[in-house]
Chains A and B, each alone.
Chain A
Amino acid sequence: MSTPTAPAKKTNRLGFDILPYRGGKTTLCAGCGHNAVTERLVEACWELGVEPWRVAKISGIGCSSKTPAYFLGQSHGFNSVHGRAPAVATGALLANHELRCVLISGDGDTASIGLGQYMHTLRRNPAMLYLIENNGVYGLTKGQFSATSDLGAKSKGGAVNAFTPIDCCLAAIEYGATFVARSFSGDKKQLAALLRAALSHDGLAVVDVISPCVAFNDHEGSTKSYSYMKDHEEPLHEIDFIPFFNDIEVEIEEGATREVSLHDGSRILLHKLEHDYDPSSRLNAVTRLHQASDGDEVLTGLLYLDRSRPSFTRTLNMVDRPLATLPESVTRPSREALERINEEYR
């Protein structure tokens, strides 16, 4: 009889089990959509074999912004200022363009107080995952409407939202993000595939995840509740993601599946559902989003992908070595250079 041994732990391509990808224990409510998003993110980073030390997790303020403490415990994290995480993340990328930046924000953080920074970050297209955990409500301050609340949506206290919502995906497509997706925290398979694709994209990847707030926005009359999403989610396609290091042959059925490849060689397979959907067309994406919201549907999937525009740090034509690590011999000009300048002003 052989001695019983513990089953071998599953490891990723770096030889890590999933532990380094986990973080502290969540302090959010049981059943909060954000916890499911965090789990998908942990899995995605592990499956992709992202080096934990290379990741910078950056967030603003709010329930969603607390979550960087709950994943990738070995990575650097920065819970910064309400609505201003995009600037902090952009700064970090300026210092070190080799960082894998994961920005976690919420609907208040992005679409209300942070709308200005959001818009300008879209224009710049920095290479990062910009994850919006969208529940249409302020959780930490107990249930006020946010700017993504739908017109006519009801608050827990019975108030009716009188204002039109800001659609973060429409803005992202319009103003320059190069990877735009919407998903639902309850749609495990789709979210997992989208996150892995977003993390592999060299440019700004905005993923807007409807993530219900069980404490303040999961009631009858809410348009961001679990039951509303179950009834109204309209997936554009079924998605499979094949990372660059996974050399499997896939049979593509003509007319039924679109294959899109990313900069690092990873592939996204979009399997046709009711209609064919081409994510490279901005106009088509915008039209479909408008049609969906007119029909009270929440369109999910890969809405838009542009592989042609360079990421922000590439447009700056910086040296390959991260600025943060440049030695004095490179960053301080010579004595002769100063003497020449002195002479110019004499």
Chain B
Amino acid sequence: MHATPVVNDFSIHVATANGSGSQTANSVLMRSIFQMGVPVSGKNLFPSNIAGLPTWFTIRASRKGYIGRKKEIDLLIAMNPETAREDVMALDAGAAVVYDEPLALAGLRDDLVFYAVPFDKLVTGVCPEPKLRKLVRNMIYTGVAAQLLGIDIDEVRKALVKQFGERKKKAAEMNWQAVLAGQSYASENLPKADPLKVERMDANHGRLIIDGNTAAALGCVFAGATVLTWYPITPSSSLAEAMIDFLGRLRQDPETGKATYAVVQAEDELAAAGMVLGAGWAGARAMTCTSGPGISLMSEFLGLGYFAEIPGVFIDVQRVGPSTGLPTRTMQGDTLTNAIVSHGDTRHPLYFPSNPEECFSMASEAFNLAEKFQTPVFVNLDLDLGMNNWMSDPFEYPELPVDRGKVLSTEDLERLGGFSRYQDVDGDGVAYRTLPGTPHDKAGYFTRGTGHDEHARYSEKADDWIANMDRLSRKFESIRGAIPAPEVRFHPGARVGVVCCGTSRYAMEEACDQLREELGLETSSLRLKAYPFTASLDEFIKAHDRVYVIDQNRDAQLLALMKLDLDPVLLLSLRSVRYYGGLPLDARTVSDEIARQEGIR
């Protein structure tokens, strides 16, 4: 037994084969630690495959609340013969390994702690029916880990019941027997030889465990979205599916049982985007969700949405690569694309949620922004945020009322005697619109991507085009005042600043602590919550000698966007930290790179 126990600060790496039912065992293990009151995160690192290929699940417990991916693995659970050897060889010295006995891994290294478990033998005792053994076999390691780490077995039981729900009692009972088999085997046969330990805390009071896609879907439902059109694509499909589920439960007319929404699974992303535009034009709160390849297909419509000034919410759960390129791996791949997508001069507002609460609130706010400014709005999630389970504060009911923007009614038209669709009446660049179907002879106007004057009449005159483009710029300026401000942590006296957006925050916050604790480098940090940038970013850059911009992509897309938009004088102090391996960003990668560029390591 180690002299100093390592309490509530470790990562568990579970290596299995895809489709072997390990997800349930991993979720129960993660939830048990969560119920012990310890901050925890879980990340499914899975291949693009239904069954057979290697898959890993990483659970991190952190008393300090760090929930980004931890690069170093402290406990490996090696269930997959195909990767076991490689997984063991990659561990840092001192790590522990729980492994399937026949894999005989103990001889590979002498600087690790090994625990052999005869899974096949144990599962035979739990599950007389050979057919079902595969399904419960993995649950045994949950019991082994609970015993080794000191997780209260009652919490495992509770987590298991939660996981299976009320309806699957029989399955829950069989899995519970597997947990107990693992626990008792470990307690009788595996003397504790590693320092890792879970001890009860109270950090998770009231919190939920939920994935970002589900949270964003809920946000849309509570925003009063009425039209969802989509085309299945990993990693955004679960968002649409969660939304369909919530809509079915929450949005039926109580008297007639009829839907107060429409969902269409379109034939492709082109059609999905076209339906969003048609529905937004005709007055629905319309949205779609997709990923990078879908954005590519939607790009013509996105440009038309900007020029024709049509509201729509586009949720992009970003992933790696076009075509088959790592569809199940995470990336901030569309930061730059989404800001400027389509041809001609186009600019689009972006939200950068970093956790489920923000997925909920920003997805919800995006509808108000889109309708207020009559333009497509992006919500940029990524696979890590969208598909993984996160701790989350409970969702707060949207405080702002639904804002349908400047829409003229029959009564308005009667009072005004008519309107000009593209006239900047209020000086904010946002003109008034009418919806098709408004009973008035002055309601109609003609929508087109080509040039028009402020009365929506066809025009190819240079002056009309310029006037319209300048009004669109004014509108984009107005958007700056309507989006959430960045989260800034100023450290008095710090000469170095760090900037990021979205899920990079976890690595950034932990890396800033690492730099201070390990190297004595104080840093300030700024997390962008939306684009366009606001004055607070300028001020932050001015206040520091060097500012590191974190990107989860090769080409430093967030930095590139800053280069496009900011005063060139500010650019001199900008540096880049990039990661593009497809795994969620870890703090060590960030702190190592900043230390390297600072010349202090």
- Chain B residue nearest in CB terms to A16: B441
Measured in the bound complex, the distance between the Cα atoms of B276 and A84 in whole Å is 12
Could you tell me which residues of chain B, from 278 to 306, have a CB within 8 Å of some CB in chain A? 278-286, 300-301, 304
* Among listed B430-438, B465-473, B557-565, interface-contacting one: B430-438
Against A, the Cβ 8 Å flags (1 = close, 0 = not) of B417-455 are 000000000000000001111111111111111100000
What CA separation (Å) do A72 and B397 show in the bound complex?
44
With contacts A95-B284, A318-B258, A324-B226 known, is A342 near B449, CB below 8 A? no
A322 within 8 Å of B (CB atoms): yes
Given the complex of chains A and B, what is the CA–CA distance between A86 and B246 in angstroms? 28
User: A92 near B281 (CB under 8 angstroms)?
Assistant: yes
Does B192 sit at the interface, judged by CB under 8 A?
no
Residue A142 lies at the interface, judged by CB distance under 8 Å to chain B: no
Given contacts A95-B283, A96-B437, A326-B226, contact A88 B278 (CB under 8 A): yes
Q: Are the CB atoms of A53 and B250 closer together than 8 Å?
A: no
Is B323 an interface position by the 8 A CB rule?
A: no
Contact count band on B: 35 or more
Count A-B pairs with CB separation below 8 Å.
234
Complex interface: chain A residues within 8 A of B223 (CB): 332
| Contact between chains at B444 and A53 (CB < 8 Å) | yes
Q: Kindly supply a per-residue 1/0 record for chain B positions 537-571, scoring 1 wherever the CB is within 8 Å of any chain A CB and 0 otherwise.
A: 00000000000000000000000000000000000
Q: How far is the CA of A52 from the CA of B251 in the complex (A)?
A: 32
**CB within 8 Å for A96 and B447 given contacts A84-B270, A117-B270, A346-B208:** no
Q: Mark A314-338, 1 if CB is under 8 A from B, else 0.
A: 0011111011111010111101011
Closest beta carbon of chain A to B229's beta carbon, Å: 7
Cβ of B189 within 8 Å of any chain A Cβ, yes or no, is no
Q: How far is the CB of B216 from chain A (nearest CB, A)?
A: 13
Nearest CB on A from B359, distance (A): 13
CA distance A333 to B248 in the complex (A): 12
Binds A, one of B171-179, B260-268, B377-385: B260-268
Q: Which residues of A contact B251 (CB under 8 A)?
A: 331, 333
Q: Residues of A contacting B229 with CB < 8 Å?
A: 91, 94
Q: How distant is B517 from chain A, measured CB to nearest CB, in Å?
A: 33
Closest chain A CB from B386 CB (angstroms) = 16
A89-B278, A92-B278, A316-B259 known; A76-B436 Cβ under 8 A: yes
Q: A81-B449, A93-B282 are in contact. List 17 more A-B contacts (CB 8 A).
A: A24-B458, A53-B443, A55-B436, A78-B281, A79-B449, A91-B277, A91-B281, A93-B278, A94-B275, A94-B279, A94-B286, A95-B279, A96-B284, A318-B258, A323-B261, A324-B437, A326-B226
Interface presence of B271 (CB below 8 A): yes
Q: Does B395 contact A (CB under 8 A)?
A: yes
A87 partner, pick from B209, B274, B283, beta carbons under 8 A = B274
* Interface residue? B405 (CB, 8 A): no
CA distance A319 to B254 in the complex (A): 11
A117-B271, A324-B282, A338-B395 as given contacts; A87 in contact with B266, CB under 8 Å: yes
**Is A99 at the interface (CB under 8 A from chain B)?**
yes
Establish whether residues A319 and B439, one from each chain, have CB atoms under 8 Å apart when the complex forms. Answer: no
Q: Check if A91 sits within 8 Å of B280, measured CB to CB.
A: yes
A69 in the interface (beta carbon within 8 A): yes
**Does B394 reach chain A (CB closer than 8 Å)?**
yes
What are 12 inter-chain pairs, A to B, with CB distance below 8 A? A77-B447, A84-B270, A84-B301, A90-B271, A91-B274, A91-B280, A95-B278, A96-B284, A117-B267, A120-B267, A319-B253, A323-B279
Query: How long is the Cα–Cα vector from A24 to B253 in the complex, in angstroms?
Result: 43
Distance between Cα atoms of A68 and B301 in the complex (Å):
20
A332 proximity list for chain B (CB < 8 A): 222-224, 398, 402
**For B227, B260, B286, B449, which residue has the most chain A Cβ atoms within 10 angstroms?**
B260
- Contact, CB under 8 Å: A331 / B285: yes
Once the chains bind, are A342 and B284 in contact (CB under 8 Å)? Answer: no
A197 at the interface (CB under 8 A from B): no
- Tell me which of A77, A87, A313, A342 contacts B446 (CB under 8 A): A77
Q: Does A143 contact B (CB under 8 A)?
A: no
Contact B446 A96 (CB under 8 A): no
Min CB gap B455→A, angstroms: 12
CB within 8 Å of B: which residues of A? 20, 24, 51-56, 58, 68-69, 72-81, 84, 86-96, 98-99, 116-117, 119-120, 313, 316-320, 322-326, 328, 330-333, 335, 337-338, 341-342, 345-346
A286: shortest Cβ distance to chain B, in Å?
23
With a cutoff of 8 Å between Cβ atoms, the chain B residues found around residue A341 in the complex are 218, 246, 395
Supposing A77-B447, A91-B282 touch, asked if A53 and B301 sit within 8 A by C-beta, the answer is no
Give the nearest-CB partner of B207 in chain A. Answer: A346
Q: How far is the CB of B264 from chain A (nearest CB, A)?
A: 7
* Alpha-carbon distance between A93 and B277 when the two chains are bound, in angstroms: 11
Query: Complex Cα distance A108/B293, Å?
Result: 26
The answer, among B208, B277, B395, B398, for a CB contact under 8 Å with A88, is B277
Residues of chain A with a CB closer than 8 A to B274's CB = 80-81, 84, 86-88, 90-91, 117
A323 touches B438 (CB 8 A): no
Q: How far is the CA of A95 from the CA of B297 in the complex (A)?
A: 23
Task: Please name the residue on chain A nearest to B276 by beta carbon.
Answer: A91
- What are the 6 A-B residue pairs with the smallest beta carbon separation, nearest first? A91-B278, A87-B274, A324-B283, A331-B224, A95-B284, A95-B282
Distance to closest chain B CB from A62 (angstroms): 13
Given contacts A79-B447, A96-B436, contact A345 B275 (CB under 8 A): no
Q: Please, how many angstroms separate the alpha-carbon atoms of A16 and B448 in the complex?
A: 28
What separation, in Å, do the CA atoms of A234 and B157 have in the docked complex? 77
- From A316, which residue of chain B is reached at the shortest CB distance? B262
A11 to chain B, nearest CB (A): 15
**CB closest residue in chain A, given B218:** A341
**B14 contacts chain A at the CB level, 8 A cutoff:** no
Q: What CA separation (Å) do A322 and B262 show in the bound complex?
A: 11
Does B107 reach chain A (CB closer than 8 Å)? Answer: no
Q: Tell me whether B206 is interfacial, beta carbon within 8 Å.
A: yes
Contact (Cβ within 8 A) A91 B398: no
Residue from B271, B273, B401 with most neighbouring chain A CB atoms (10 Å): B271
